[in-house]
Structure formats: C-alpha cells, structure tokens
Structure 1
Amino acid sequence: MIACFVTGTDTGVGKTLSSCALLHALARHHPRVVGMKPVASGAEPDGQGAWANEDTLALRAASTITVSPSLDNPILLPDPVSPHIAAERARMPVTLAPILQAYQTLREQADAIVVEGAGGWQAPLSEDLRIADLAVALQLPVVLVVGLRLGCLNHALLSADAIRASGLTLAGWICSRVDPTMLEPEANLAYLRQSIGAPLLADIAWQAQPDARTVRVQLPKEWQ
C-alpha cells in the first residue's frame, strides 16, 4: 500500500491541486486510489443534501473509489478559518484518534492514499496539536508543495528542515507557480532544485482554471 502526506509552504499554494495530480498519477499504477482530508475548515452544500469541504470534493473527484465521508474527511469544521479557531467556534475538538482510525480503515480499502494537510507544516489544529503532529502520527513520507512566489525560498527551506527534524522522509516536492507576475521564477526554481534535498515531482504552471489532469507528475519509483 502506497501513501503520502501533502503539506505546503503556506495556505493557498496549491496543495489540493497537487494532491489531485498525485492521485491521477498514482491511478495509472494502482486501481484503488483515494484522497483524504483529515481536517477541513469551511463547509458548503455537496449537492446531495449534506455538507462538504471544497478541497475534499476535489479529492473525491480525483479518486478512483468512493468511501464514506467519515473516512476521507473525518473532521469537517463549518467556518473557513484556521482549524483551531474553527474547532473552537464549533465546539468540535480536533483529536488524533478519529483521524488515525479513519486512515487505518482506508488502508484496508485502497492501494494508494494521498493525505492532504491544512495550511503549512506548523498550522495549528488545536491548542496542543499541529499539522506536523498529525503527519508524525501517521508516519507517512511527505510531499512539500512550494508556492513559487517572493519569499518562497525561506519558506521552502524552513519547511524542508522542519519535516526532516520531525523524523519523517521528505519524499519529494512540487513547484506550484501561484504568481504569474513573479520576477526570476526560473532562478528561484533552480536554487530550490539544488538546495531542497529532495526530488522535484512536478512543476505546475499557473492556470486561470486549474486542472490536475494536465499536471505531469514524476512519481518515485517505489510508488509506481
């Protein structure tokens, strides 16, 4: 069974687009592929009489199997704010137990799982729980999505160092060109390729209408 944890240098850097691209790439090698959003902030009608998060809906569309919402999104918080604030507002404490239980059940149903975090590596889920703690509890290799924009070098290298310091493997990174007006993007990309210490899995061009199916992903050999 193949699984990875997707995190980002910040919010809004293309984690969901990258996660969906990974799902499409994995589906070329594995029949049962599913995305998981353990904690999602911001709910909207799903068109079927229930509520769902926009990111979760995108992951479901990119998955090859359908699972219960309690498995692919065990914690759904109504307000589109930082999870720890959304949880406090909703009086729904975020804990690891239901997430780990859902993940273990997914492992029995899927050949490959892409777990998408929320925000960046140190984004808080509660007063004493962060995204990094969740990734460590799952013990998954990490894919870092770098939003290519001014300031990304510092954010990317700090995130890469923090991931390794947690004891997890940085399996690779994805360049997400979120700012079409950025000066010297190729120079920044070249520096990251030299310095980040992990393979570049995809270089996602800026798209007015993002489509994960158009993204070329070079999966690690052990994921194929």
Structure 2
Amino acid sequence: MAVNRFFVTATDTDAGKTYISSLLLQGFRALGHAAAGVKPIAAGTDQQGLNGDALRLMQHSGLALPYAQVNPICYQAAVAPHLAAQITQQPILESQLTQALQDWQQLALQHLLIEGAGGWLLPISKHRYLADWVAEQRLPVVLVVGMKLGCLNHAMLTVREIERSGCQLVAWVANCIDPQMALLQENITDLQQRIAAPCLGVVPFMPAEQQQSALATQLAAALTAIINKND
C-alpha cells in the first residue's frame, strides 16, 4: 500500500511546523495509524550535532528511525540553510533529498510527514527553492498558519505561491502563537473564507496536556478524512 505523503510548510519560521507535525503524529498513533515525521533539511544543532525539530519528530513517530535517516541534511549554525551550505562548502544536493524520499516511501508506514524548513520559499541554491523540489515530487501540502498580526497577508501569499507552483494544498491549520492577538476568531474566519482547502483545526496557545491530546486526535482524524475522500 502506498504511503500517504504530506509536506508540512508554514507562513514563516516559528509558525509551528514541528509542533503541528508532532500533534499529527500523536494523533495518528492514537488512531492506530503507522506514521513518521522527517526533516530533510535543518539548520541549528545541539552539542551533539542534532537538530531539535528532528529530535521532536523522532520522539513522536510511530517508527524508530536512525537520526541520519530522519534528517539527512543538517547544518550546525542556526541560519538560512543555503547560507550555511555556502559557509561550510557543503551544498544542498537535491539528489540526496530525492534518494531520502525514495527510502522513506519504502518504510512500513501509512503516513509520512515531511517537514520543511522556514517558510515555503526556502532557498536551497542560487536559483532553486525547496518548493521547486516539492513540486517536482508532487507532494501534497499542509500549511501551518502562525496566527499573529500580519498572518492574513503571509497566509494568502503562501497559498497563492503553493497554487502557482502546481502543488496541491490539501489542508491548513490555524496555530495560535500570539496569545494577545486582537480579533483572533475574526482572522481565523476570514482565512477559512479565503482558503479553499479545509482547516484541520485551531490550535490554541499552549494548550493543557489533556486538551493537547484531544487536539492531536482531531487533527489526525480530519486529515485522515481528507485522505479517504480523495481516494
């Protein structure tokens, strides 16, 4: 059976890609679905040379994988990956990304979450963006919208660019990263009216552990329903 692949992107850095991906992974586990999260490109590591986002995906994945398979391209400095690649003279090779994707698709999984880095138009070389590779691999996209002042513009720019690239935006999540955001519900309603893809759910700022578990199941169930509808 083919693996359901999803590329998880966001309106910006720190919009919550890893957090939402980890919730989806927890939800899939609660539903009894085999799922894993991977981080093809990361920048910023601990003293052991490991990236925190990749480690969090490993923590919540339903399949134990070696770190190098979860995060095949990793740079120590917490900067734009293509700039880190220039500094270290270790270029981001799309052939390496494609090989990693082929390997992930051979795993005994129902769902594979491929988390991007930064926002949608992440440069990976002088003329290429990670979005170009995502489009060529025909990966369906899940968008995390970091709910804060300015998110309407960021969200719609991202949605338009995803559509322009030929990718399918299958769903989005409203992740409330600013607890003081004015007119939060009005902003969410506005985005629901503007974005054709369904909203999997609204994740409040720092939900309690019990609420977080229920949210995880809700998000995973909503994405599963979309998968079943499209089959």
TM-score by length of 1: 0.91
| Higher strand residue share | 1
CA contact (8 A) 1:43 1:80 kept: yes
Q: Which residue of 2 aligns with 1:74?
A: 72
What CA distance in whole angstroms lies between the structure 2 residues aligned with 1:37 and 1:159?
20
- Structure 1 distance, partners of 2:29, 2:207, is 25
Distance 2:149 2:184 in 1: 9
**1:107 counterpart = 2:109:** no
Structure 1: runs of 5+ lacking an equivalent? none
**CA drift at 1:178:** 0.6
Superposition deviation, residue 208 in structure 1? 7.7
Contact 1:3-1:113 at 8 Å conserved across structures = yes
How many angstroms apart in 2 are the aligned matches of 1:30 and 1:134?
Answer: 31
Aligned-pair CA distance for 1:131: 2.3
Structure 2 CA distance for partners of 1:213 and 1:133, relative to 1, 3 Å? farther
Residues of 2 paired with 1:159 and 1:53: CA distance?
25
What one-letter code is carried by the residue in structure 2 that aligns with 1:79?
A
Q: Which amino acid letter does the alignment assign opposite residue 221 of structure 1? A: A
Mapping 1:1-224, distance limit 5 Å:
1-29=3-31, 31-45=33-47, 50-109=48-107, 110-207=109-206, 213=213, 215=215, 216-217=218-219, 218-223=222-227
Alpha-carbon distance in structure 1 between the residues aligned to 2:28 and 2:136? 23
* Contact 1:70–1:102, Cα closer than 8 Å, also in 2: no
Runs of 4+ aligned structure 1 residues displaced above 3 Å come to: 28-31, 208-214
Pick closer, same or farther for the CA change 1:144–1:202 going to 2, 3 Å: same
2:28/2:34 contact within 8 Å kept: no
Instruction: Calculate percent identity across the aligned residue pairs.
Output: 35
Cα deviation for residue 129 of structure 1 reads 2.2
Give deviations 1:53-104, integer Å, cap 9, x for gaps.
Answer: 0000010011011122232111011100111111112211002111111111
After superposition, the C-alpha distances for 1:116-138 in whole angstroms (9 at most, x for unaligned) are 00111112122222121131133
Counterpart residue type for residue 156 of structure 2: L
1:93 partner amino acid: P
Equivalent residues of 1:78, 1:90 under 8 A apart? no
SS state of the match for residue 118, structure 1?
Answer: coil
**Structure that is richer in helix per residue:** 2
Structure 2: segments with no counterpart, 5+ residues = none
Provide the C-alpha distance between the structure 2 equivalents of 1:127 and 1:21, rounded to a whole number of angstroms.
Answer: 34
TM normalised by structure 2 equals 0.89
